[in-house]
Chains A and B, each alone.
Chain A
Amino acid sequence: MSSIAFDADLQDIFFTVFEQLDADGRLGEIARFADFDKETYQATVEEAARIATEVLNPINGPGDRQGCKVDDDGNVTTPEGYAEAWRTFSEGGWIGMNADPEVGGVGLPNTIAMICTELFSSAATAFSMYPGLTAGAARLVHKFAPEAWQLPVATKMFTGEWGGTMCLTEAGAGTAVGDNRTRATPTDEPGVYLLEGEKIFISGGDADFYDNVVHMVLARTPDAPSGSRGISIFLVPKFEFDDDMNLGERNGAKVVGLEHKMGINGSATCVLALGADKPCKGWLLGEEGQGLPIMFHLMNEARIGVGVQGQSVAAAAYTYALKYAKDRVQGASVENFKNPDAPRVAIIEHPDVRRMLMTMKVLVETMRALLYRVALYEDLSHSDDLEESKRKKLANRVDLLVPIAKAHCTDLGFDVCVTGVQVLGGYGYINEYPLEQLVRDAKIMSIYEGTNGVQAMDLLGRKLRMKGGALFMEWLGDSQKLVQKTSGDFPAEAEAIGKALGHVGQTAMHLGALGQKGKLADAMLQATPFQAMMGHVVLALEALDQARVAKAKIEAGEDSAYLHGKLLNLTFFVKNLLPEAIATGKAIQSGDTSCLDERLFA
């Protein structure tokens, strides 16, 4: 039993998606979404919030303490309540919320699906990984599985009768996916291979609430070239099935162990043996050698999804900490500190606690804005109803921001949870309160789906250089436009953010010049600091944009403490957090390479 009730911040969610981003208006221009409107979006999000609060959050703490089990046949038992939650989820259509109706989906825009995902993950991160991975795997099946299976298997998955996983990682192939060693040998049956090897760290490798599980497995065919180009991807079911989806024999993919880990204990992290005690059949997706290109179809979605996880735990931490700070009475106000009989106050009166809560608030709300924006641009960029040039620009922006959405939101997400523990003091550290679990659950997010170090290198080494630097220059240009547009309303803040943008540009030039001189290590040494710097400026821009919208509403007569909070967010961000970005830029440009000195760690 958690001692503080879980709450979804629907006010901020609706402000961000409808008022700031005008998502209903912009999605309304797309034929594919013509059936929806603001009212259905709102009803959907409210129902998701209800399920998050009433169904998912109650199983989050107990699931963490109970964890998962596996028996000798490789069958995983999930914590109590997971099966029922899965049923509610499947029957409600939530696994396939943004999937095509032809595979049992509802066809919601990613923007709205992301909000629901945020709520589910905020309430119970570990549980929500099962539907998340199942949906991801189902999308690959829908597009790339043998044709007769595309619709029926994807439908089984999107409706929760079957589950799905992503199997990339091996003991020797983590970040370096290209070093995969699992072997796939062709059989006489076209498209069918026998797989041998061992996958580790497979999330949701099995569960007790569906009839079958379909693994998406990376493996190498016999004569494949070394490295990434030699990797293929296979559909590997736990039970074989025929074209009518009747289950047949047990296939030789078997969970042979579970990791004991720091957090997300309700999510079974499995060792999956392929072809160890019986042959393991795999069906090729696409063609041989297309493993990574096919997997990359999911990359943006998966990375944004993990960014949302980071933001979602931060959102939970913030709402818990805020409630707690209003209730917990401790000490007198600082004005009365010498008077032992002074009235005791709620800790939210203490300046240091307010500073912590404000930091949490502004980060949670700006990360939310960034993620919703990326999801909205993703929706719009896939729509034929928009001009080609507009679509390209939106797609460029998504590509540029994805590593920031993933890395910055998971790094900050963890930090916000840690701050949440601090707000609660000792009560934050004990498991009677939900904060310590959030910290443990949050940590994995900076590691999986491409470590944050890899994200930073993707930003600096690829995204900044893509299309001759066009993605970055477009972003700088649009950002400067926002700065100009708001400079009347917020002269000091807009100017500061404008200067920070200049710093980001200069820092990028500095690093680019290192690259051109062939000093790759010197440049990549600064990838993570650069990502953090640019990430902070990206969030500052969201604070500015939200303040713009809030101010317009206030001037139109709709004054409220909530809207005023958006103006305070901007001031706080610019005065307290933005200087970190400037300082980081200076540190990067100092050109220090002491960590690369050969004598270090010798």
Chain B
Amino acid sequence: MKIGVCVKVAPDTDTRIKISGDGAGIEESGIKWIVSPYDSFGIEEAVQTQEAQGGEVILFSAGPKDWQTQLRAGGLAVGAERAVIVDDPALAGTDPLGIARVLAAGIASEGCELVFTGKQAIDDDNVQVPAMVAELLGWPHVSFVTDFSTDGSTFTATRNVGGGTQEVVTGSLPVVITAERGLNTPRYAKLPAIMKAKRKKVDVKSLGDLDLSADDITPAVQLTNFSLPPERPAGRKLEGDVDTMVQELVRLLREEAKVI
């Protein structure tokens, strides 16, 4: 079975983000790039599935070919077999639907039967691409999955639906699964595997290689302006006797925080 994993490379979680000069993006120099952590859960699940069922794990990325550094360290060194990066100038301004079209085309061209990915990327937090990929492939899609198993033709996936309730979904392959924290614990790369990852294949493709053109990924959405969230105001200490403090607290909760 060919198992695909859609992987995005994103700034490390503790990066201090700076807005770029034109306000339409972020300052990219000096950032440490990593495989988006939810995608790492996807990679781990794919590798575990491959270990149980056989087959091959292929990583798919729509982004600059330089991502191969992170794909090797965070994917090929922990059990994925090869990677496909679609790097095309037209990708620069596209939107989630454009990215999904590219990934879906890549997945279809490889004939995958099962696709994992993170529930969201940690940079844009859009939570859109996986569902779109599934739709474009005409596959079902189970999101926020915390437990997964398959026998090679059917699958069972558990997802959190909030409030402590879990939903168990069963179905048959193919399917797109998005990983929630708790699905697994990504393994550490073993030294020999880090060395081997260097020689694993990373195909860099253009849109044309997938029979797509820039027109196919014309964005419907454009990002025009970024701003940082306002700084958190300093804490406030209420003064006076208990009655005054309680009254003040209730007033603040009602009028400022608007929670009661």
**B197 contacts chain A at the CB level, 8 A cutoff:** yes
Are A47 and B188 interface neighbours, CB within 8 A?
A: yes
CB of B77, distance to nearest CB on chain A (Å): 7
**B191 contacts chain A at the CB level, 8 A cutoff:** yes
Q: Which of B73, B191, B198 contacts A46 (CB 8 A)?
A: B73
Q: Which of B32, B188, B192 contacts A106 (CB 8 A)?
A: B192
* Residues from chain B with Cβ under 8 Å of A106 in the complex: 191-192, 195
Are A50 and B197 interface neighbours, CB within 8 A?
A: no
**B72 contacts chain A at the CB level, 8 A cutoff:** yes
Are A92 and B189 interface neighbours, CB within 8 A?
A: yes
Q: Which of B30, B191, B198 contacts A92 (CB 8 A)?
A: B191
A318 to B42, CA, bound (A): 36
Are A43 and B194 interface neighbours, CB within 8 A?
A: yes
**A94 contacts chain B at the CB level, 8 A cutoff:** yes
Question: Closest residue to A106 on the B side, CB-wise?
Answer: B191
Are B191 and A44 interface neighbours, CB within 8 A?
A: yes
A93 to B192, CA, bound (A): 7
Are B73 and A47 interface neighbours, CB within 8 A?
A: yes
* Residues from chain B with Cβ under 8 Å of A108 in the complex: 191
**A384 contacts chain B at the CB level, 8 A cutoff:** no
A36 to B195, CA, bound (A): 7
A43 to B194, CA, bound (A): 7
Q: A39-B69, A43-B77, A46-B73 are in contact. Are A91 and B195 (CB under 8 A)?
A: no
Q: Which of B188, B189, B190, B198 contacts A37 (CB 8 A)?
A: B198
Are A39 and B72 interface neighbours, CB within 8 A?
A: yes
A47 to B188, CA, bound (A): 7
Question: Closest residue to B77 on the A side, CB-wise?
Answer: A43
* Residues from chain A with Cβ under 8 Å of B195 in the complex: 35-36, 40, 106
* Residues from chain B with Cβ under 8 Å of A185 in the complex: none
* Residues from chain B with Cβ under 8 Å of A55 in the complex: 188
* Residues from chain A with Cβ under 8 Å of B190 in the complex: 91-93
Are B191 and A93 interface neighbours, CB within 8 A?
A: yes
* Residues from chain A with Cβ under 8 Å of B189 in the complex: 43, 47, 92
* Residues from chain B with Cβ under 8 Å of A571 in the complex: none
Q: What is the size, in residues, of chain B's interface with A at 8 Å between Cβ atoms?
A: 15
Are B194 and A44 interface neighbours, CB within 8 A?
A: yes
Are B72 and A43 interface neighbours, CB within 8 A?
A: yes
**A182 contacts chain B at the CB level, 8 A cutoff:** no
Chain A interface mostly helix, strand, loop or mixed?
A: helix
Are B30 and A40 interface neighbours, CB within 8 A?
A: no
* Residues from chain A with Cβ under 8 Å of B30 in the complex: 560
Tell me the A22-64 residues at the B interface (CB within 8 Å). Answer: 35-37, 39-40, 42-44, 46-47, 50-51, 55
* Residues from chain A with Cβ under 8 Å of B197 in the complex: 40, 43
A498 to B72, CA, bound (A): 46
* Residues from chain A with Cβ under 8 Å of B69 in the complex: 39, 42-43
Q: A37-B198, A43-B77, A43-B197 are in contact. Are A97 and B191 (CB under 8 A)?
A: yes
* Residues from chain B with Cβ under 8 Å of A88 in the complex: 188
Q: Kindly supply a per-residue 1/0 record for chain B positions 63-94, scoring 1 wherever the CB is within 8 Å of any chain A CB and 0 otherwise.
A: 00000010011000100000000000000000
Of B32, B188, B192, B198, which is in contact with the most chain A CB atoms at under 10 Å from its CB?
B188
Q: A47-B73, A560-B30 are in contact. Are A40 and B188 (CB under 8 A)?
A: no
Question: Closest residue to A562 on the B side, CB-wise?
Answer: B30
Tell me the B51-69 residues at the A interface (CB within 8 Å). Answer: 69
Question: Closest residue to B195 on the A side, CB-wise?
Answer: A40
* Residues from chain B with Cβ under 8 Å of A50 in the complex: 188
Q: Which of B32, B72, B73, B191 contacts A94 (CB 8 A)?
A: B191
CB of B204, distance to nearest CB on chain A (Å): 16
Question: Closest residue to B197 on the A side, CB-wise?
Answer: A43
* Residues from chain B with Cβ under 8 Å of A44 in the complex: 191, 194
Of A35, A47, A94, which is in contact with the most chain B CB atoms at under 10 Å from its CB?
A47
Leading 8 A-B pairs by shortest Cβ distance: A93-B191, A43-B73, A106-B191, A92-B190, A47-B189, A43-B194, A40-B198, A93-B190
Q: List 21 A-B contacts (CB under 8 A).
A: A35-B198, A36-B195, A39-B69, A43-B73, A43-B189, A46-B73, A47-B73, A47-B77, A47-B191, A50-B188, A51-B188, A55-B188, A92-B188, A92-B189, A93-B191, A93-B192, A106-B191, A106-B192, A106-B195, A108-B191, A560-B30
Kindly list 10 other residue pairs between chains A and B, CB separation below 8 angstroms, not including A47-B77, A51-B188.
A37-B198, A39-B69, A40-B197, A43-B197, A46-B73, A47-B73, A47-B189, A47-B194, A55-B188, A92-B188
